[in-house]
Amino acid sequence: MTRRNITTETLPRLPIFEALSSHNPKSTAIIHSESGENFTYGSLLSDTAKLKRKLLENAKTDNLQEQRMAFLVENGYNYVVSLLGIFAAGGIAVPLNPGHPPKELHYVVNNSTPTFILTTPNSKAHQVFPPSSSFPPILDFLEHHPSNPQDVPVPVDLSPAVDPSRGALMIYTSGTTAAPKGVVSTHKNLTTQATTLVTAWEMGKDDHLLHVLPLHHVHGIVNATLAPLFSGGTVEYLFPFNTQKVWSRFADTSRKPISLFMAVPTIYSRLIESHETLPEPTRSAGKKAVSSLRLAISGSAALPANTKQKWESLGGNLLERYGMTEIGMALSQRLPLTDRMANSVGWPLPGVEARLVGDGVEITKVGQEGEIQIRGDNVFREYWQKEEATKKEFTDDRWFKTGDVAVRDERGAYYIKGRASVDIIKSGGEKISALEVERELLELPQVAEVAVVGLSDKNWGQRVAAVLMLTLQGKNEEFDLVKMRAEMKKRVADYKVPREIKILEAIPRNQMGKVNKKELVRKVFAVDGRE
């Protein structure tokens, strides 16, 4: 039999490709959960190199030189190949969320001005971005199926190293407090963000992560994709999130058990609520799987104490962490269970400097509030085409001002009070943490979800208000302002008790579980949310 010639492909010597090349090429890197189709590290490297070559050929260049490359691809193997292929070609990857409406996708594309919009055949990109002079061309790439014997992974070599300060990824902020900004992170930033988590969370080749998060955010891209790939583990994509499918996968004893799970508080709440509705075999097996998780992580929003307690009643334990688009993860609770504290996001991660600052002075006193400031190789390079905005968010000695307020306890652990712009309510000379009030409201059996906001008040400066979604018990009791205030006065000081409430069937949230409070104030209370 005559062997066909196999051309060797080349990838740049970036830390992510060095890590991927160091893993067993036959080990499973990616799994599509519903079909069970799996993709090896060898295939991932090969297909990334092929896409790199296709991008360069279409751009008629040998290096994209930080050209932006938008991509609209569903969660899974093709998404990872798209991301890595853009890295390999020298471009800056700009992820587009398939769940976003056309208006938001148009904003990102018009702002980032990409060379191409990379997608797969039959995606929504062709409808969202019709051929027009106002949109860049769409570039389709075919799906790769390593199970096909004709699609044998080609050998991949690594070329000389590239500058780690080169732009790699541009994720847009959620827009919960201002217009979305493009956050440009370098390869050094991403490598630091990912490898710090591999070390702190002890990720390894035996880890199997079930990925249910959106992939347009640092949580889904860095924490739950790049970090486990750096460590040689397996990422199994199950998206969009569905409680029944997650419980079924947890309970499936015919497949490799899940060891890592990362989610936002609303996902954990919905999993907990749905657990009792499961048929008995799935309910018992699902509970056993939760107790067997090596690590379950909650982030992107404050974790209510009762959610943590209910998850623990299923046999699990949640680790809280703190981060944002500009810095990746900066703070995290530690792995020993004895170091888990309710409502705390823990300590600075390895290699990350953190401090609290108030009125321009660093705070060292226990329990005193201050803004969290972060410094290290994890911190982003710039806001895209916003030089003044970038400069404004840094001190002269390069500490990034997060805009989040926190306190520390005697052990140095951080407790988030909220965003200075929307979560710190100033009423009658008192400063109130909206997150603290939300946590206490969520302890009430009548309240399922909540968002606490400050409304402009001519006498008090601001007054505390709350938007509630009720549980079945709350609806049956016809829970109202009077009953809520009576219950809350048993829990917090009178000035923290909401003076006004609105009850909704659902509180609008983005896909990461966050609420745009300024928009909520405008729409629900019909007042300006800038106060």
- pLDDT above 70: percentage of residues in the chain: 94
Q: What is the DSSP string of 128-146?
A: HS-S-TTSPPEEE-----T
Instruction: Give a yes or no: residue 483 inside a domain.
Output: yes
User: Which domain does 504 fall in, by range?
Assistant: 424-526
Out of 11-15, 278-282, 419-423, least confident range: 419-423
513/90 Cα distance (integer angstroms): 33
The answer to whether the beta carbons of residues 508 and 520 sit under 8 Å apart is yes
| The pLDDT value given to residue 219 | 92
Number of domains in the chain: 1
| The pLDDT value given to residue 508 | 86
pLDDT band, residue 531 (cuts 50/70/90): very low
Q: Please give the mean pLDDT across all residues of the chain.
A: 89
Q: What are phi and psi of 236, to 5 degrees?
A: -110, 120
* CATH code: domain of residue 497: 3.30.300.30
442/302 Cα distance (integer angstroms): 11
Amino acid in position 407: V
pLDDT in tens, 68-117: 999 999 999 999 999 999 999 999 999 998 888 888 899 999 999 999 99
Instruction: Give a yes or no: residue 388 inside a domain.
Output: no
Report the predicted TM-score, pTM, of the whole model to 2 decimal places.
Answer: 0.85
Instruction: Give a yes or no: residue 192 inside a domain.
Output: no
pLDDT for 429 beyond 80: no
pLDDT for 177 beyond 70: no
pLDDT for 27 beyond 80: yes
Q: What's the average model confidence in pLDDT over 330-348?
A: 84
505/500 Cα distance (integer angstroms): 17
Q: What's the average model confidence in pLDDT over 220-240?
A: 97
Instruction: Give a yes or no: residue 106 inside a domain.
Output: no
pLDDT band, residue 142 (cuts 50/70/90): low
pLDDT for 529 beyond 70: no
Q: What is the DSSP string of 84-96?
A: HHHHHHT-EEEE-
| The pLDDT value given to residue 266 | 85
Instruction: Give a yes or no: residue 511 inside a domain.
Output: yes
pLDDT for 297 beyond 50: yes
Instruction: Give a yes or no: residue 442 inside a domain.
Output: yes
pLDDT in tens, 444-494: 999 988 999 888 887 787 889 999 999 889 899 889 999 999 999 988 888
pLDDT band, residue 134 (cuts 50/70/90): confident
Tokens (6 digits) for 280: 């008995």
Instruction: Give a yes or no: residue 468 inside a domain.
Output: yes
77/495 Cα distance (integer angstroms): 51
| The pLDDT value given to residue 189 | 98
| The pLDDT value given to residue 149 | 43
Residue 436's nearest CA partner among 329, 337, 302 is 302
| The pLDDT value given to residue 301 | 77
Q: What's the average model confidence in pLDDT over 300-325?
A: 89
Instruction: Give a yes or no: residue 314 inside a domain.
Output: no
| The pLDDT value given to residue 299 | 87
pLDDT band, residue 158 (cuts 50/70/90): confident
The answer to whether the beta carbons of residues 153 and 45 sit under 8 Å apart is yes
Q: What's the average model confidence in pLDDT over 280-289?
A: 94
pLDDT for 5 beyond 60: no
